[in-house]
Chains A and B, each alone.
Chain A
Amino acid sequence: MKLIIAYIQPHKLNEVKQELYRSEIYKISVTNAMGCGQQKGFHESYRGVDIEVNLLKKVRIEIAVNDSFVKPTIDAIIRGARSGEIGDGKIFILPLEECIRIRTGETGSEAIG
């Protein structure tokens, strides 16, 4: 079991969701996030004074999957989120110790699936 965490551009969320759906991955959590990477934020100007703003709007996606689904999930996220420009985001994969479905008490792969 793995936990896949991805930070993507907010306007790419819809395409990522569609790609995941096509790859038969239907379970997803999404949160709004602020962050910065190589892009180093953006610049504003107020009355001629330059303002550097570091944090950009991002969307954080979390998906817990069984091992066989790791590759399709990553591929789907990349297909949906890649524009080739700076700021497309990152994907992290973490080992997942346990997963419990609250309603039934199922654990492990069954609870994820």
Chain B
Amino acid sequence: MKKQMLFLAVLFFLVTVAGFAEESIESLTTAMNMMWLVLTGAFVFFMQAGFALVETGLTRAKNATNIIMKNLMDFCFGSIVFWMIGWGLMYGTDHFGGLIGFSDFFKGPMGDPNFYRDWFFQVVFAATSATIVSGAMAERTQFKSYLIYTVFISAFIYPVSGHWIWGGGWLSKLGFHDFAGSTVVHSVGGWAALMGAIVLGPRIGKYVKAEGKVTVKAYPGHNIPLAALGVFILWFGWYGFNPGSTLSGVSTDIARVAVTTTLAGAAGAVSAMFVSWIWFKKPDASMTMNGVLAGLVAITAPCGVVSPGAAVVIGLLSGVIVVLSVEFIDKVLKIDDPVGAVSVHMVNGVFGTLAVGIWGNVDGVAVGVLHGGGFYQLGVQALGVLTVGLWAGLASLVLFLAIKGIFGLRVTEKEELMGLDITEHKAEAYSGFQIFSNM
């Protein structure tokens, strides 16, 4: 045994020495980048688990199998179509002055190693955008219609606006800055979530009309610990999402991005908790969790160009915004978003994108209003928010209306009341406890 160990040690030493002889700064950098992007890509992939748990925890037990299936399958369908079509539209050769990419579909057979690195890192972002929607459309959407939706957002909607910003398109040429995707990822998913929730309509019994007055009812989530675990997993995944978006394993920004990400998420939770404490008299758990996610979404665009102090301010504001937005969407607009996906991802995605134009503080990248950069950056950010919002909003509205017209989008009243687990999947999430109502 000892002899074997010795032999291995000698072999390792020889290989290392021989290896070093051929290393250069360039090849080491390539290796670092490869490792960094694949590692952080895996972190971002794990956010799928976070979304699945948050959405399951914040909805009713009779729909838990259904929401897990949606979260699983949107990644599986999305990743395949992103390879077939999405990548080519997002990172293919530019056409029409930065409007769309068009090449590299069904990329293969072997090709450049850097392609695989970049594709893997990007596909997990595309999947994050797609999976945001399942929360807002929870508890009432037909499973097959959701699958159709998820193919289209990953193949077309996300890659087109992604090309404008990350694929060398027209917004990036104007100097639009979205470090890790407040707009590219979160607001696109958020806009689709909003349109989905509008086209679907509210869950039965959410807004009850009695004597000319509409009362707003709550459907409490069935497992808050599960939702909290999901939030922790998402936060963990964000350390891949933001620091990974340096796109370089030797970047000196990695740690600073991790710090701003941490501070904004923490500050978002703090302010959401206090707002809910003052407003609802008690610190609300699910709202505080939404506050964490709001802070993380908001810092996603500016995390590379702001100071730690600015990150705290952005986080604190996002926590206030998310509570106000949830209340506004639920009680004033009466749009039923069971998990607050629109408020977290769309509203705070927009806020985070604009924050670049206010607190940005890196010369040559983004200098905001507060650091003497004038209003140019803020204007470009606002233009990006507007055009991406129009694109993602209109495209997903048309998509959902088309699915509604052709296949139907919503389950029947009876299926909704019984729960989607038993009606869509013929199985319960918690077998042995009859949680659904027999109709």
> Chain A interface (Cβ within 8 Å of chain B)?
9-11, 34, 39, 42-46, 53, 55-57, 85, 87
Q: How far is the CA of A45 from the CA of B424 in the complex (A)?
A: 11
Q: Which residues of A contact B139 (CB under 8 A)?
A: none
CB-defined contacts of B426 to chain A, threshold 8 Å = 43-45
CB <8 Å contact, A11 and B437 = yes
Interface members, chain B 402-439 (any A CB < 8 Å): 417, 422, 426-428, 431, 434, 437-439
Interface of A is mostly: strand
Contact for A44 among B428, B438, B439, CB less than 8 A = B428
Classify chain B: how many residues form its interface, as a range: 10 to 19
Q: Is the CB of B437 within 8 A of A53?
A: no
Are B427 and A46 in contact, with the CB atoms below 8 A?
A: yes
Residues of chain B with a CB closer than 8 A to A57's CB: 434, 437-438
Number of A-B pairs, beta carbon distance below 8 Å: 32
Please give, as numbers and ranges, the residues of chain A lying within 8 Å of B439 by CB-CB distance: 9, 11, 85, 87
Given known contacts A11-B417, A44-B427, A45-B427, A55 and B434 CB-to-CB distance under 8 angstroms: yes
Measured CB to CB, the closest approach of chain A to B211, in angstroms, equals 14
A44-B417 contact in complex given A9-B438, A57-B434, A57-B438, C-beta closer than 8 Å: no
Closest B residue to A87 using CB positions: B438
Which residue from chain A places its CB closest to the CB of B414 in the assembled complex? A85
Closest chain-A Cβ to B285's Cβ sits at a distance in Å of: 27
With a CB–CB cut-off of 8 A, which chain B residues contact A42? 422, 438
Using Cβ atoms and an 8 Å threshold, which residues of chain B touch A11? Answer: 417, 437, 439
Known interface pairs A9-B439, A11-B417, A42-B422. Does A56 touch B427 (Cβ–Cβ under 8 Å)?
no
B interface, by DSSP: helix, strand, loop or mixed? loop
Q: How far is the CB of B87 from chain A (nearest CB, A)?
A: 35
Bound Cα distance A77, B213 (Å): 28
20 further contact pairs, Cβ within 8 A, besides A34-B434, A44-B431: A9-B437, A9-B438, A9-B439, A10-B437, A10-B438, A11-B437, A11-B439, A42-B438, A43-B426, A44-B422, A44-B426, A44-B427, A45-B426, A45-B427, A53-B434, A55-B434, A56-B438, A57-B434, A87-B438, A87-B439
Q: How far is the CA of A35 from the CA of B417 in the complex (A)?
A: 20
Which residue on A lies nearest to B417, using beta carbons? Answer: A11
Would you list which residues of chain B between 369 and 427 have a CB under 8 Å from chain A? Answer: 417, 422, 426-427
**A-B pairs, 9 with minimum CB distance:** A45-B426, A56-B438, A11-B437, A57-B434, A44-B427, A10-B437, A46-B427, A44-B426, A57-B438
Residue of A at shortest CB range from B434? Answer: A57
Task: List residues of chain A with CB within 8 A of the CB of B428.
Answer: 44
Q: Give Cα A55–Cα B438 distance, bound, in whole angstroms.
A: 10
Chain A residues near B437 (CB-CB < 8 A): 9-11, 57
C-alpha gap A85/B437 in the complex (Å): 15
CB of A82 to closest CB in B, whole Å = 14
Instruction: List 13 A-B residue pairs with CB atoms under 8 Å apart, sorted by A's residue number.
Output: A9-B437, A10-B438, A11-B437, A11-B439, A34-B434, A39-B438, A43-B426, A44-B427, A45-B427, A56-B438, A57-B437, A85-B439, A87-B439
| Distance from A88 Cβ to chain B, minimum over Cβ atoms (Å) | 11
